[in-house]
Amino acid sequence: MKIAVLPGDGIGPEVTAQAVKVLRALARDGLALEMEEAPIGGAGYDAAGDPLPEATLRLAQAADAVLLGAVGGPKYDTLARPLRPEQGLLRIRKELNLFANLRPARLYPELAEASTLRPEVVSGLDLMIVRELTGDLYFGEPRGIHLNAAGEREAYNTMRYAESEIRRVAHIGFQIAMKRGKKLCSVEKANVLETSELWREVVIEVAREYPEVALSHMYVDNAAMQLVRNPKQFDVILTGNIFGDILSDEASMLTGSIGMLGSASLDAASKGMYEPIHGSAPDIAGQDKANPLATILSAAMMLRYTFSHDEAANRIEAGVSKVLAKGLRTGDIVTPGCTLLGCAAMGDAVVAAL
């Protein structure tokens, strides 16, 4: 199992190091893992003048899976757009054709108190957001900023989906629903947007192949509201790139912290890139304060989805549960009576709990 490790920027290197530690511990127990590191994002720009250096892309293409930390930082915000760290991330998603982004939001019972929502609203929460990742406003052409006829600056992006793009991610959504609670809610804005009208039509077509899955449709504004009103009504949420970006940040807070959520981005052959859904958190970078659990749980997803190694994935997830049950917490999830750990100590605790 060849893994390309791309730590990135900010807290990326710290949290990735902990996930690597956990994978190394599994390798000592006989899992055949090979890992190689390369720079991406701001680190890629610093090393090679490109947020996705050619050598990094080649390493990722040759690997079976990619483990990524986070990209971005204030130092790079004034660069021309193509040189910014975020472009490295968007390009690698596109180059590897990682169109299906899986973002599970599951509440560990021990963290019910850490959520800003009342425990009875979130306890037992277990939902999966399936976000389309290589289309929509993020990649739609035309896009740009220009001077219009009135001589003022005008900016535009294009929300755009071909039916094949909707169909392939819808299949992934339904397949995942089949393995879970057999409920899928497709989220769009079909009352206003043609893109969403087509989205809904294609999802209804695909649903015919999955008669056991109960399909519902929801407008994105209502979905944002329902996620905090009654999040347990959801099993699988299927949605486009921009809506999924927004709703997955919202869903993460139901689980106590954005520092708890991992993700998988898959191509048609289940090759994948695995990353925490949080960003590079420049304000706490280099201070050993970050929560590495989202990245560690992303590594578990890698073992499950790309390598079909459920046993190893379960070991990691059980390790994380054990650590939380012992009351060990990083700053983002700490509550009175718990023990505060730094990033590296949290990684060690998970290794010890394996």
Instruction: Give the interface with Mg ion as residue ranges (CB under 5 A).
Output: 245
How far, in whole angstroms, is CA 353 from its chain's centroid? 25
Q: From the list Mg ion, ligand IPM, none, which binds 11 (C-beta under 5 to 8 Å, kind-based)?
A: none
φ, ψ dihedrals at 146, nearest 5° = -145, 175
Helix (H, G, I), strand (E, B) or coil at 180: coil
Residue type, 71: V
Active site residue 245: yes
Cβ closest to ligand IPM, residue 71 vs residue 324: 71
Q: What is the DSSP letter of 342?
A: -
Contact between 86 and ligand IPM by CB under 6 A: the answer reads yes
Residue of 245, 274, 289, 305 marked active site:
245
269-288 binders of ligand IPM (CB under 6 A): 277
Give me the residue whose beta carbon is nearest to Mg ion: 245
Residue 72 CB, shortest distance to ligand IPM, in Å, is 6
Give the torsion through C-alpha atoms of 232, 236, 242, 245, to 10 deg: 60
Cβ closest to ligand IPM, residue 90 vs residue 320: 90
Helix (H, G, I), strand (E, B) or coil at 189: coil
Residue 11 CB, shortest distance to Mg ion, in Å, is 15
Q: Which residues have C-beta within 8 Å of that of residue 229, sequence separation ≥ 6?
A: none
Q: From the list Mg ion, ligand IPM, none, which binds 89 (C-beta under 5 to 8 Å, kind-based)?
A: ligand IPM
- Given candidates 245, 273, 302, 330, which one binds ligand IPM under the rule CB under 6 A? 245
Question: How many CB atoms within 10 Å of residue 10?
Answer: 29
Count of residues in contact with ligand IPM, rule CB under 6 A: 5
Active site residue 189: yes
Residue 255 CB, shortest distance to ligand IPM, in Å, is 15
Quick one: tokens of 23?
A: 């994978």
**If we measure between CA atoms, which residue out of 15, 66, 59, 41 comes closest to residue 273?**
66
Contact between 89 and ligand IPM by CB under 6 A: the answer reads yes
Active site residue 138: yes
Distance, in Å, from the CA atom of 192 to the CA atom of 205, rounded to the nearest integer, reads 21
- Write the CA distances from 211 to 36, 154, 217, integer angstroms: 43, 46, 16
Residue of 46, 77, 221, 310 marked active site:
221
Active site residue 249: yes
Q: Which residues have C-beta within 8 Å of that of residue 215, sequence separation ≥ 6?
A: 184, 185, 186, 203, 204, 207
Residue of 249, 267, 288, 348 marked active site:
249
Residue 135 CB, shortest distance to ligand IPM, in Å, is 12
Interface with ligand IPM by CB under 6 A: which residues?
86, 89-90, 245, 277
Q: Which residues are catalytic?
A: 138, 189, 221, 245, 249
